[in-house]
Amino acid sequence: MAENPQAGAQAPALDAQGVTVRYGSFTALDDVTARFEPGLIHAIVGQNGAGKTTFARVAAGLVAPAAGQALIFGTQVPPGDVPRARTAGVELVHQSFALPPSFTVAEVLQFVGPRAGLYSRRAIERHWQAWLRDIGIDLPAAARIRDLPIESQQSAEIARAMVSDARLLILDEPTAVLPPEGIDRLFARIRSLKARGVTVFLVLHKIREVLAIADTVTVLRGGRLVAGPMPTAGLAPASLSAQIIGEGAGTLDLSDRAALTGEGAARHADAGAAAPRRGEGKALEVSLLHVARGQYGNGLSGVNLDVHSAEIVGIAGVEGNGQRDLVAAVAGLQPIAEGAIRIAGQSFGREGLARRRGAGLRIIPFERNVEGLSLTSSLWENWSAAQLVGRSLLATAGPRALRRLADQRFREWDLRYRNPDQPAGALSGGNAQKVILAREVDAAARLIIAAQPTRGLDVGATAAVWDALRAARARGAGVLIISSDLDELFDICDRVVVLAAGRSVGTFAPPYDLRAIGDAMVAATARPQEETA
Partner 1 sequence: MMTEQIAAVLRACLFIAIALLLCMVIFAAVGLSAIDTLRGVVEGAFFRPRAMDHVLRWGLPLLITSVGVVICFRAGYFNIGAQGQFYMGAIAAAFAAEALRGTSPLVAVPLCMLAGIVGGAIWALWPALLRVKAGADEVISTMMGNFIAALVLVHVTSGPLKDPSGSGQATSSLPVDAAHRISATTGTSPIILGITALVVLLGWWLTRRTAFGVLSGLAGRNPTMVTWQGADVERIAIGAFLVSGAFAGLAGSIELLGPNGRLASGFLPAHGFTAVVIALVASLSVLATVFVALFFGALASAALYLPVMAGLPAAAIQIINASIALFITSRTEAAENLLSRWRARWKT
Helix (H) or strand (E) holding 305: strand 300-308
Task: Out of 249, 389, 405, 533, point to the residue binding partner 1 (CB under 8 A).
Answer: 389
Cβ distance 265 to 259 under 8 Å? no
Binding to partner 1 by CB under 8 A, coded x per residue (else -) over 412-451, reads ---------x------------------------------
Q: Is the dihedral of CA 122, 126, 129, 131 positive or negative?
A: negative
Give the list of residues 6+ apart from residue 151 with CB closer than 8 angstroms, or none.
177, 178, 179, 182, 185, 186, 318
Q: Which of 188, 340, 370, 516 binds partner 1 (CB under 8 A)?
A: 370
Exactly one of 142, 292, 402, 426 binds partner 1 (CB under 8 A); that residue is: 402
Length of the chain: 533
Query: x/- binding map, residues 317-356, to partner 1, per CB under 8 A?
Result: --------------xxx------------------xxxxx
Q: How far is the CB of 252 from partner 1 (least distance, A)?
A: 31
Minimum Å gap between C-beta 385 and partner 1 is 4
Kindly state the number of chain residues that form the binding site for partner 1, as judged by CB under 8 A. 40
394 is an interface residue for partner 1 by CB under 8 A: yes
Q: Which stretch binds partner 1 (CB under 8 A): 80-88, 105-113, 306-314, 368-376?
A: 368-376
As measured in angstroms, the least distance from the Cβ of 335 to partner 1 is: 14
Nearest-10 Cα torsion for 20, 23, 27, 28: -70
> Long-range contacts: 107-115, Cβ < 8 Å, 24+?
108/145, 108/156, 108/160, 109/141, 109/159, 109/160, 109/163, 112/160, 112/163, 112/164, 113/163, 113/164
Instruction: Select from 388, 426, 514, 523 the one that contacts partner 1 (CB under 8 A).
Output: 388
Identity of the residue, 1 or 393, whose beta carbon is nearer to partner 1 in the bound complex:
393
373 lines the binding site for partner 1 (CB under 8 A): yes
The least distance separating partner 1 from the CB of residue 475, rounded to whole angstroms, comes to: 22
Q: What angle do CA 394, 433, 282 make, to 5 degrees?
A: 75
In the complex with partner 1, the residue whose CB is nearer, 140 or 365, is 365
* Helical axes 429-440 vs 379-388, angle rounded to 10°: 20
CB 373 to partner 1: min, Å = 6
Q: CB of 508: closest distance to partner 1 in angstroms?
A: 29
DSSP H or E segment with residue 504: strand 503-508
Max Cα–Cα distance, the chain, nearest Å: 75
Q: Does 390 bind partner 1 (CB under 8 A)?
A: yes
CA distance 460 to 177: 23
Residue placing its CB nearer to partner 1 in the complex, 83 or 352? 352
Let me know: does 465 contact 415? Beta carbons within 8 Å: no
**375 makes contact with partner 1 (CB under 8 A):** yes
Query: Between 26 and 119, whose beta carbon lies closer to partner 1?
Result: 26
Shortest separation between residue 403's beta carbon and partner 1, angstroms: 8
Write the CB contacts of 273 (distance below 8 Å, at least 6 apart in sequence). Answer: none
**What is the DSSP code string of 322-355?**
SHHHHHHHHHTSS--SEEEEEETTEEESS--HHH
Provide the binding-site residues for partner 1, judged by CB under 8 A: 331-333, 352-357, 363, 365, 367, 370-377, 381-382, 384-386, 388-400, 402, 421
